[in-house]
């Protein structure tokens, strides 16, 4: 159980004489937080991620919990000594860097709608993304899709999320990313800030579209298994974004990704381009002819959009990853990229409170890259005097996770699909897109 204690109520700020260290915490669904629990991390407004509702150290009474629910807060980090070795799971540096990137993009979107992206704006984006790259490397063990930005909605949060997911994937398969850019020096090919920049700006062309068009995503189009008609003009946002970068001095790979992030590995994406052997025939790109950055951003783009249904309602990360691993998306993505996304981004982040099929409750303490839905779990003792036990779900096949953060997730558990790893990519006769093509 999360730790409870009686302290003077405070609606803002830390308690007097509060230590300047991160307390032990676990991430709980708000409906599972008992009154009297002590807040362990900042609570941001789901509608305004840069606005803090509460600071760490606040004792949560019934009124505060009810007010947070009304604002759409669904989960809270709560102080708990059971997880005293997982302090870094909150990754405050990563949260701050992502929030700074989000703010940079949000504040510039209205200006982008009126003009092209300037060199100064591009420099600002690049600096923000560089901070995210460094924090993603430092906090790589604590990857997840549980923070406020993933639930906020809107183009700024989507761009920031796609940048983050792209970086996680690119860092995980760095050798493959380098290998897929054979015309670049290794130093340049492994430079990930351009990949993060491409993810951040991939949809910036939507600022030129009507609101009802810009909020649509191709995931929900009837042509792709959804139930909605693709709005007229929607497929122009890639070319519009590409044109907006003309005078920004953006790297060629960034502009290329903006144009081609809706290409599919099986050749059923868009836009069409002239064929190499016959410029009179136009067709979508396929396979390794799509630049590796565009392949990664395409997967991250879909995964982030899977966190919301067609009506915009929030779905748990495991539900999004379950869909991403399903046969529906076979052929959409580079198999190496898809496998990396599924292995690197956990359905249950470290620190997450879960309930098991045997009725026991626990906290996720270690991800499982080979079987993501079977992480290592620390069981919550029935009595405070009991020694916590650790259970590796991969070795205990009869026990599964049924609830996470207070949500029933039993139907969303998945196994990783079969993947073609880098060596098999050599069988593809078509070379990867070059820098000259990207330009």
Whether residue 217 has pLDDT greater than 80: yes
Contact 393, 400 (CB under 8 A): yes
Beta bridge partners of 75: 29
pLDDT digits (tens, 9 = 90+) for 112-146: 777 789 899 999 999 999 999 999 998 888 899 99
CATH number for the region 25-89 comes to: 3.90.105.10
Dihedral of alpha carbons 280, 283, 289, 294, sign: positive
The pLDDT confidence band at residue 329, using thresholds 50, 70 and 90, is very high
Predicted local confidence at residue 139, as pLDDT: 87
Contact 198, 162 (CB under 8 A): no
Whether residue 372 has pLDDT greater than 50: yes
Whether residue 412 has pLDDT greater than 90: yes
Q: Has this prediction a pTM greater than 0.85? A: yes
Predicted local confidence at residue 109, as pLDDT: 87
Predicted local confidence at residue 378, as pLDDT: 93
Report CA 179 to chain centroid distance, whole Å. 24
Mean pLDDT (whole number) for 337-359: 95
Task: Return the percentage of the chain with pLDDT > 70, whole number.
Answer: 89
Tokens representing residue 277 in the block: 């052997």
Predicted local confidence at residue 226, as pLDDT: 86
Predicted local confidence at residue 5, as pLDDT: 47
Dihedral of alpha carbons 56, 20, 27, 363, sign: negative
92-346+430-438, CATH topology level: Hypothetical protein af1432 (1.10.3210)
CA 56 – CA 47 distance, rounded (Å): 20
CA 222 – CA 238 distance, rounded (Å): 20
Contact 283, 270 (CB under 8 A): no
Helix axis angle for 335-344 and 317-324, nearest 10°, is 160
Report CA 176 to chain centroid distance, whole Å. 20
Predicted local confidence at residue 85, as pLDDT: 73
pLDDT digits (tens, 9 = 90+) for 6-47: 443 433 333 333 333 444 578 999 999 999 999 988 999 998
The pLDDT confidence band at residue 311, using thresholds 50, 70 and 90, is confident
Contact 42, 27 (CB under 8 A): no
For the chain, the average pLDDT equals 87
Alpha carbon distances (Å) from 173 to 337, 424, 425: 8, 15, 14
CA 420 – CA 336 distance, rounded (Å): 6
The pLDDT confidence band at residue 257, using thresholds 50, 70 and 90, is very high
Contact 378, 397 (CB under 8 A): no
Predicted local confidence at residue 24, as pLDDT: 57
Taking alpha carbons only, the member of 355, 394, 391 closest to residue 371 is: 394
Whether residue 421 has pLDDT greater than 70: no
- Determine which helix (DSSP H) or strand (DSSP E) holds 54, and give its type and residue range: strand 48-54
Whether residue 431 has pLDDT greater than 50: no
Beta bridge partners of 281: none
CA 389 – CA 144 distance, rounded (Å): 24
The pLDDT confidence band at residue 225, using thresholds 50, 70 and 90, is confident
Tokens representing residue 423 in the block: 């060596």
Mean pLDDT (whole number) for 145-150: 91
Report CA 29 to chain centroid distance, whole Å. 19
Taking alpha carbons only, the member of 385, 392, 335, 395 closest to residue 367 is: 392
Tell me if the bond preceding 421 is cis, omega within 30° of 0: no
Whether residue 321 has pLDDT greater than 50: yes
CA 228 – CA 397 distance, rounded (Å): 40
Annotated domain spans of the chain: 25-89, 92-346+430-438, 353-410
| Highest-scoring range by mean pLDDT, 19-23, 62-66, 414-418 | 62-66
Residue 29 per-residue DSSP state: E
pLDDT digits (tens, 9 = 90+) for 73-111: 999 999 887 777 776 677 878 888 999 999 999 999 877
End-to-end CA distance of the chain: 56
Predicted local confidence at residue 432, as pLDDT: 52
CA 249 – CA 269 distance, rounded (Å): 27
Predicted local confidence at residue 11, as pLDDT: 37
Mean pLDDT (whole number) for 143-154: 90
CA 338 – CA 316 distance, rounded (Å): 19
Phi, psi of 29, deg, nearest 5: -65, 140
Whether residue 316 has pLDDT greater than 60: yes
Tokens representing residue 75 in the block: 């989960």
The pLDDT confidence band at residue 426, using thresholds 50, 70 and 90, is very low
């Amino acid at each position: 159980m999360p730790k409870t204690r009686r302290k003077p109520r405070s609606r803002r700020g830390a308690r007097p004489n509060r230590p300047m260290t991160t307390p032990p915490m676990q991430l709980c669904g708000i409906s599972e937080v008992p009154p009297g629990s002590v807040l362990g991390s900042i609570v941001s407004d789901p509608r305004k991620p840069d606005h803090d509702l509460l600071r760490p150290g606040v004792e949560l009474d019934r009124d505060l919990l009810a007010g947070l629910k009304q604002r759409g807060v669904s989960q809270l980090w709560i102080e708990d000594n059971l997880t005293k070795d997982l302090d870094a799971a909150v990754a405050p540096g990563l949260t701050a860097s992502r929030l700074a990137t989000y703010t940079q993009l949000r504040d510039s979107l209205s200006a982008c709608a009126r003009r092209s992206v300037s060199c100064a704006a591009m420099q600002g984006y690049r600096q923000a993304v560089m901070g995210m790259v460094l924090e993603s490397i430092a906090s790589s063990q604590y990857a997840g899709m549980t923070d406020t930005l993933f639930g906020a909605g809107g183009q700024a949060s989507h761009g920031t999320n796609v940048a983050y997911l792209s970086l996680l994937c690119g860092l995980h398969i760095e050798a493959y990313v380098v290998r897929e850019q054979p015309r670049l020096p290794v130093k340049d090919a492994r430079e990930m800030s351009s990949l993060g920049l491409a993810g951040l700006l991939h949809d910036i062309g939507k600022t030129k579209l009507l609101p009802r068009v810009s909020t649509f995503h191709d995931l929900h189009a009837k042509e792709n298994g959804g139930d909605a008609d693709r709005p007229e003009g929607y497929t122009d946002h890639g070319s519009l974004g590409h044109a907006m970068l003309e005078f920004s001095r953006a790297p060629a790979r960034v502009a290329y990704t903006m144009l081609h992030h809706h290409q599919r590995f099986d050749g059923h994406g868009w836009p069409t381009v002239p064929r190499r052997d016959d410029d009179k025939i136009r067709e979508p790109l396929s396979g390794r002819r799509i630049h590796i950055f565009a392949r990664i951003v395409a997967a991250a783009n879909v995964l982030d959009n899977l966190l919301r249904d067609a009506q915009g309602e929030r779905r748990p990360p495991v539900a999004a990853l379950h869909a991403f691993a399903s046969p529906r998306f076979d052929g959409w993505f580079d198999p190496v990229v898809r496998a990396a996304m599924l292995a690197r981004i956990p359905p249950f982040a470290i620190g997450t409170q879960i309930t098991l099929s045997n009725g026991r409750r626990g906290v996720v303490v270690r991800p499982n890259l080979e079987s993501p839905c079977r992480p290592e779990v620390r069981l919550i003792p029935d009595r405070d005097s009991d020694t916590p036990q650790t259970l590796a779900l991969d070795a205990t096949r009869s026990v599964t996770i049924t609830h996470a953060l207070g949500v029933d997730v039993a139907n969303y558990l998945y196994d990783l699909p079969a993947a073609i790893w880098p060596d098999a990519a050599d069988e593809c006769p078509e070379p990867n897109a070059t820098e000259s093509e990207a330009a």
